[in-house]
Every structure is written in structure tokens, then in C-alpha cells.
């Protein structure tokens, strides 16, 4: 009986806005190891008689730059784990693709190339990416399989892990070794302008599944790239895993060309406008406002009080604002008779300071929930999103008691979308501001649509 093939699983995943004043460090990363990591990937390795070695997967809520010392330390620790696990037939790396570390222009390329140097040339490296990741030659040179999400908002993480794991296990079990080709596309828009729920991305992403069926093609991808990093590596791309190089390059060029041709059709997936327009828009029924410039799941700081201030000034009632990051808030209020607190910009995210003089306060799950003049505000100890319905029920909050929900978000999460409420995206300021013209742009490649408008680009085959 032949010996079982062995693969390792691990990686690092975060998204870094270069417009955020914060740094991501140890405390920001969750480490998934052991069987929870195998469960996360959720692939029937046993069926393929593969022995799995779960290493570490580091995962953070998007934010600012990753601290260089933390990155180096984490990378070295991870490489030691890989070294201990060798010899390996394969590695499955879970990455995001939009990490940014001061002094390292292409951290994913750096991480993956070091993995390659440890595992050797024979080992098959399969990589999963978020479709908001950026690709580089260094990444492509060092991998054998590439698969990225095909939905934004993301609802296909597991399916993506499955695609990458399946190609990995079939290759290590004797399948033909794949190749990965890519074409950069000089377009950078936000996720909200490239949602796969609406055109043109809806059709383009649907088409990727058909490309997978082509002779010599294993996995076809379009990456939107990450808008909020003023970095030379930030760019959209087509990436194809193939066994036939010619077919791979042709498919890659076709995806790149299609996205390029559709660039002027990219638009927000929901009604959008500034704060004034948002308040004028408010319907009588339950509705949702998305404070997009400060959305922590895109890299925003999550501490800004612009929308809260505007709603207080406009005397709107029946409002739930969830949430605003306010570190230390529980200590500040709990066990004291204090009812007044100043919020806004406490992590350096900017925006106004707002004084809340609470009529009612309670504490739960590292949150302080304050009510004043018909507005309930959830102040959170940590930066965090409110994208799940359980985020509210766990705080004892009934959404149906409110007329308006304000969340820090770009496009709405699938669970919030499921409420089918009228919704409006506010183009607020912040580290992930949707006004590309307001973003500092010193390092991105040029020309880059929509920063500069050029009419043609040469597909790099």
C-alpha cells in the first residue's frame, strides 16, 4: 500500500487600509489551529486518503497596516511549523491578499515565497484568496493552484476552500501538476461598486464557472483588488489555474478584457449619497443606513460619530446606531453614576465628538447600550461589525422596535439584506471613504481607472 500523502493547512488573512491610523498587531489576530482549522476548511480529506497537518491560520478584522515586527515574528513562527511538518506533499494556504506591512510591498508574496523555500519545489502549494486581494508575479511564481471567492458580499468561503483543496488533493494524489497564470487589470474600485449581486459583475462571475469547464482550465478567477491601499501592488486581476498554458492564458485575457470593457458600468449596488441626502431619504417604515466610510470590515476604524451627530441634530427618533467603537467605555460608566459620555474618533478615526447624555444604560457582551432622545447607541469596547442578526439579539435588542438601523457597513451583509428593508449607503468620510478622488494616490500604478482614465490597456500574456 502506498503511503498516504500529507498536506498542511495555514495562512494569514487580513485587509489593510493605508488610510487608517491604526496598526494591526497580535491582539487583533485570532489564531485558528488544530481540528477547528480542519473544520473551517470542511473538506473530506479522508475520502482522498490525505493526512492533514493543521498549522496556524491567523485572521483579523480588516484594519490599518500590520505592524512589521508582529508580521516578521508571526511569519517566522509559521515557517517553523511548516518546517516541523515537512516533508509535505502539499500546502493549503488561506490568505486574503490585501495585507500591507510597512517596508514590505507584497506581504502575501513574501509569505508564500518563504513557504515555497521551506517546502521545496516538488510540494504543491494551493492558495485561497478573497476577491478583494491583490496578486503579484511573486505570488504566482510560487504557487500551483489558485482559487478566490466568487461572491461579494462573500457567501462562498467554504466553496472556495473546497475548490482549492480539491485541486490540491487530486494533484498530490498523482494528477497533472497545474500552473497558474494571471493578467493585471488597471482598475480599482470598491467592493460596493463591484457587488456580484448586480451587473456587470453578476454576469462576469457567473461566467467563471463556465470557464472552469473548458479543456485545460481548472479554476478561473476575477479579483477586484483592494481600493483602500495606496500601494503599487493594488490592482484588479484575472487569475487562472490550468493544465494547458495556452488555454489558461487565453481565458485569463478574456476575463481581463471583459472586466476592462465593463469598467464604466461599475456602480454602487444600492442607493447612495451624502449624509444630508440620507436623512432626506428616510422612509416611514423600518430602514437601514450604511455608514460606509467607517466600515470596519473593509478596514475602517469604526469609531466615528458623524451619522449619530447628524441624526441627533435632525431629531430623528426610533433609531438604533450599532455600533461605535469606544474603548474603555464600560469602565468609564459601569459602577459610576455617570450618564454623560463623549464619543467619536477615540481610536483616531476622526469625525465629530458627540456628547451622549444617556437616559438609560446597560452593559452586555463588551458593549454599553445607551438611549437618549429616541436614539439607542451601542458603544463597543472593540472595533467590530454588526452584520449578523444574532449580534442584536445577543444584546437583547429587538430590531422591530426601531424605525431606523444604522450600521457601519458598505454593502449590507447577507443577514441584513434578508430583512428586505429599504437601505441607503451613506458616502461618509473615514479610512475607507468611497470618494476615490479624495484618496491620497502616490503609489498606485498609473494609469489606474478611475483615478486616471485611459482608453486602452495591453493584456499581459
Find, among 49, 53, 58, 60, the residue nearest to 38 by Cα.
53
Nearer to Zn ion by Cβ, of 106 and 130: the residue is 130
Nearer to Zn ion by Cβ, of 132 and 263: the residue is 132
Half-sphere exposure of 251 (CA within 13 A, CB side): 29
Using the contact rule CB under 5 A, the part of the chain among 4-12, 99-107, 129-137, 355-363 near Zn ion is 129-137
CA distance 44 to 348: 45
Nearer to Zn ion by Cβ, of 15 and 346: the residue is 15
Taking the complex as a whole, the smallest distance from the CB of residue 234 to Zn ion amounts, in Å, to 14
Nearer to Zn ion by Cβ, of 178 and 191: the residue is 191
Taking the complex as a whole, the smallest distance from the CB of residue 380 to Zn ion amounts, in Å, to 22
Let me know the angle formed at the C-alpha of 223 by 296 and 238, rounded to the nearest 5 degrees. Answer: 170
SS3 98: strand
10 Å Cβ neighbour count for 5? 20
Taking the complex as a whole, the smallest distance from the CB of residue 252 to Zn ion amounts, in Å, to 21
Taking the complex as a whole, the smallest distance from the CB of residue 369 to Zn ion amounts, in Å, to 29
Nearer to Zn ion by Cβ, of 7 and 98: the residue is 98
Find, among 24, 135, 12, 13, the residue nearest to 431 by Cα.
24
Cβ-closest position to Zn ion = 132
Nearer to Zn ion by Cβ, of 130 and 219: the residue is 130
Taking the complex as a whole, the smallest distance from the CB of residue 398 to Zn ion amounts, in Å, to 30
Residue given cell 476575477 in the structure block: 222
The correct pick among 28, 53, 130, 294 for binding Zn ion (CB under 5 A) is: 130
Nearer to Zn ion by Cβ, of 72 and 157: the residue is 157
Using the contact rule CB under 5 A, the part of the chain among 43-51, 130-138, 208-216, 392-400 near Zn ion is 130-138
Nearer to Zn ion by Cβ, of 132 and 444: the residue is 132
Taking the complex as a whole, the smallest distance from the CB of residue 154 to Zn ion amounts, in Å, to 6
Is residue 108 involved in binding Zn ion (CB under 5 A)?
no
**Are 351 and 305 in contact, with CB atoms under 8 Å apart?**
yes
CA distance 176 to 170: 8
Half-sphere exposure of 76 (CA within 13 A, CB side): 6
Half-sphere exposure of 437 (CA within 13 A, CB side): 2
CA distance 210 to 220: 9
Query: Which three three-digit cell numbers place residue 225?
Result: 483588488
Nearer to Zn ion by Cβ, of 130 and 391: the residue is 130
Half-sphere exposure of 74 (CA within 13 A, CB side): 27
CA distance 40 to 157: 10
**Are 15 and 92 in contact, with CB atoms under 8 Å apart?**
no
Using the contact rule CB under 5 A, the part of the chain among 123-131, 135-143, 203-211, 413-421 near Zn ion is 123-131
Query: Which three three-digit cell numbers place residue 349?
Result: 478615526
Taking the complex as a whole, the smallest distance from the CB of residue 273 to Zn ion amounts, in Å, to 24
Q: Which helix (H) or strand (E) holds 369?
A: strand 367-372
Using the contact rule CB under 5 A, the part of the chain among 131-139, 240-248, 330-338, 442-450 near Zn ion is 131-139
Taking the complex as a whole, the smallest distance from the CB of residue 164 to Zn ion amounts, in Å, to 16
- Number of residues located near Zn ion, criterion CB under 5 A: 2
Nearer to Zn ion by Cβ, of 64 and 178: the residue is 64
- Quick one: CA torsion of 203, 208, 211, 217, rounded to 10 degrees? 170
Taking the complex as a whole, the smallest distance from the CB of residue 264 to Zn ion amounts, in Å, to 23
CA distance 325 to 54: 34
Using the contact rule CB under 5 A, the part of the chain among 72-80, 132-140, 175-183, 349-357 near Zn ion is 132-140
**Binding to Zn ion, residues 52-91 (CB under 5 A):** none
**Are 387 and 413 in contact, with CB atoms under 8 Å apart?**
yes
The correct pick among 5, 6, 116, 132 for binding Zn ion (CB under 5 A) is: 132
Using the contact rule CB under 5 A, the part of the chain among 4-12, 45-53, 128-136, 352-360 near Zn ion is 128-136
Taking the complex as a whole, the smallest distance from the CB of residue 15 to Zn ion amounts, in Å, to 7
Residue given cell 489551529 in the structure block: 33
Taking the complex as a whole, the smallest distance from the CB of residue 382 to Zn ion amounts, in Å, to 20
Contact positions vs Zn ion (CB under 5 A): 130, 132
Amino acid at each position: 500500500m502506498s503511503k498516504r500523502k500529507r498536506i498542511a493547512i495555514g495562512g494569514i488573512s487580513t485587509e489593510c487600509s493605508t488610510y487608517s491610523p491604526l496598526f494591526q498587531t497580535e491582539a487583533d489576530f485570532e489564531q485558528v489551529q488544530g481540528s477547528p482549522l480542519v473544520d473551517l476548511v470542511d473538506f473530506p480529506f479522508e475520502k482522498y486518503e490525505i493526512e492533514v497537518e493543521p498549522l496556524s491560520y491567523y485572521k483579523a478584522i480588516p484594519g490599518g497596516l500590520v505592524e512589521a515586527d508582529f508580521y516578521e515574528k508571526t511569519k517566522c513562527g509559521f515557517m517553523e511549523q511548516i518546517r516541523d511538518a515537512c516533508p509535505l506533499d502539499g500546502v493549503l494556504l488561506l490568505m486574503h491578499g490585501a495585507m500591507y506591512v510597512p517596508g514590505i510591498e507584497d506581504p502575501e508574496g513574501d509569505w508564500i515565497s518563504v513557504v515555497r523555500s521551506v517546502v521545496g519545489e516538488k510540494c504543491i502549494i494551493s492558495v485561497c484568496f478573497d476577491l478583494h486581494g491583490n496578486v503579484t508575479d511573486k505570488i504566482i511564481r510560487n504557487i500551483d493552484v489558485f482559487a478566490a471567492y466568487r461572491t461579494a458580499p462573500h457567501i462562498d468561503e467554504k466553496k472556495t476552500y473546497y475548490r482549492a483543496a480539491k485541486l490540491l488533493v487530486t494533484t498530490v494524489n498523482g494528477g497533472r501538476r497545474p500552473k497558474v497564470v494571471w493578467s493585471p487589470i488597471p482598475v480599482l474600485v470598491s467592493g460596493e461598486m463591484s457587488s456580484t449581486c448586480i451587473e456587470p459583475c453578476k454576469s462576469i462571475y457567473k461566467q467563471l464557472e463556465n470557464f472552469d469547464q473548458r479543456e485545460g482550465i481548472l479554476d478561473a478567477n476575477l479579483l477586484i483588488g483592494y481600493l483602500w491601499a495606496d500601494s503599487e501592488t493594488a490592482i484588479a486581476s484575472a487569475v487562472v489555474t490550468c493544465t494547458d498554458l495556452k488555454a489558461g492564458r487565453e481565458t485569463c485575457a478574456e476575463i481581463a478584457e471583459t472586466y476592462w470593457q465593463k469598467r464604466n458600468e461599475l456602480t454602487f449596488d444600492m442607493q447612495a449619497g451624502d449624509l444630508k441626502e440620507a436623512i432626506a431619504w428616510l422612509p416611514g417604515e423600518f430602514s437601514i443606513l450604511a455608514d460606509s466610510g467607517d466600515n470596519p470590515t473593509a478596514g475602517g476604524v469604526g469609531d466615528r460619530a458623524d451619522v449619530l451627530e447628524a441624526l441627533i441634530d435632525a431629531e430623528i427618533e426610533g433609531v438604533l446606531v450599532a455600533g461605535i467603537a469606544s474603548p474603555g467605555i464600560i469602565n468609564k460608566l459601569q459602577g459610576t453614576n455617570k450618564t454623560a459620555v463623549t464619543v467619536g474618533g477615540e481610536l483616531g478615526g476622526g469625525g465629530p465628538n458627540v456628547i451622549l447624555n444617556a437616559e438609560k444604560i446597560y452593559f452586555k457582551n463588551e458593549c454599553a447600550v445607551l438611549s437618549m432622545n429616541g436614539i439607542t447607541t451601542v458603544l463597543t469596547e472593540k472595533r467590530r461589525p454588526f452584520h449578523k442578526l444574532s449580534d442584536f439579539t445577543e444584546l437583547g435588542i429587538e430590531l422591530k422596535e426601531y424605525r431606523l438601523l444604522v450600521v457601519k457597513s458598505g454593502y449590507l451583509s447577507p443577514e441584513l439584506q434578508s430583512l428586505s428593508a429599504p437601505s441607503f449607503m451613506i458616502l461618509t468620510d473615514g479610512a475607507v471613504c468611497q470618494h476615490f478622488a479624495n484618496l491620497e494616490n502616490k503609489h498606485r500604478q498609473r494609469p489606474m481607472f478611475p483615478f486616471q482614465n485611459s482608453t486602452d490597456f495591453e493584456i499581459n500574456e
